[in-house]
Amino acid sequence: MILECPAASSIWRHSVLRLDTRQVDMGSFRGWCCLMQDKYKDSKWWDVFWSIAWGIWRKRNMWIFEKKERRESDILHKAMGLIGEYEEANLRENSVSQGLQCSSVWKAPAAGLYKLNTDAAFHGQILGIGGVLRDDSGAAVVAYCSTKKGSFAVDVGEAVAMRASFRIAMEAGFSKFILETDNLKLYHHMKKGLTPPCAFGNVVRDILLLSRGCQCISFSFVRRTGNVVAHCLANMSFKFSEYRVWLEDTPVEIQGAICNDTALLIV
């Protein structure tokens, strides 16, 4: 369907790849791709190929299930647009990461501040949420985990986890925060105050609105290795039927990870 269909063949011929799929002994789609890998080594060539292939797939599905016809020019325009968006996003995030001193370990906040680390875990149609608030000694003062039903994109899930954990920490009476995440996109949007008109942007907007009620607020990025406690809590959430909050106490499952973080503070 992706290569031999006359409509698909026309799209390939008129694309920037100028592929004539009618003149190749297909065998199987996988076999054809393996054959082309020997000929085309440039990753950007394959970016274009898979974007067009996805467009052809969508064109077919829209016709079969919705009886809607998509023009050939629309398929090609969308494919190139996706590649442009992807490259722009990479450039933007690379520029952000280059300006960061990306830590691989958890670092304690300054005296008087509290650092909130959050993370999300995904299991089918359930989102796992984990958050831990710690003081300048590394001790956990609030730990939280919960689940939320639904299908979430990774960035949306991470933002939802931050919003839920932040709200719990504020309800516990804290108002001086460092919000730390291992999701670079979430950090970038919170730091810059960006709230695009989409599901992700709406949750970021909620987080920023909550932050107005704080005495002190800042944002931080840490690599996954420095966000282990929150990650453990997010995965723990699937064990419970409802949310859990620990105040000045911690579940056994995360005590080892907390000890590892505090041991690194001493080194």
pLDDT tens, 145-171? 999 998 888 899 999 999 999 999 999
What pLDDT shows up at residue 12?
A: 86
Superfamily of domain 114-266: Ribonuclease H-like superfamily/Ribonuclease H (3.30.420.10)
CA 166 – CA 177 distance, rounded (Å): 9
C-beta atoms surrounding 181 within 10 Å: 24
Residues of the chain with CATH 3.30.420.10: 114-266
pTM for the structure as a whole: 0.64
> What tokens appear for 41 in the block?
């080594």
Contact 221, 181 (CB under 8 A): yes
pLDDT of 267 over the 60 cut: no
Q: What is the DSSP string of 176-198?
A: EEEEEES-HHHHHHHHHT---SS
Q: What are 183-203's pLDDT values in tens digits?
A: 988 998 999 999 988 889 999
For the chain, how long is the longest CA-to-CA vector? Answer: 71
> What tokens appear for 106 in the block?
């958890």
CA 37 – CA 47 distance, rounded (Å): 13
Contact 114, 103 (CB under 8 A): no
What pLDDT shows up at residue 96?
A: 53
71 residue type, one letter:
R
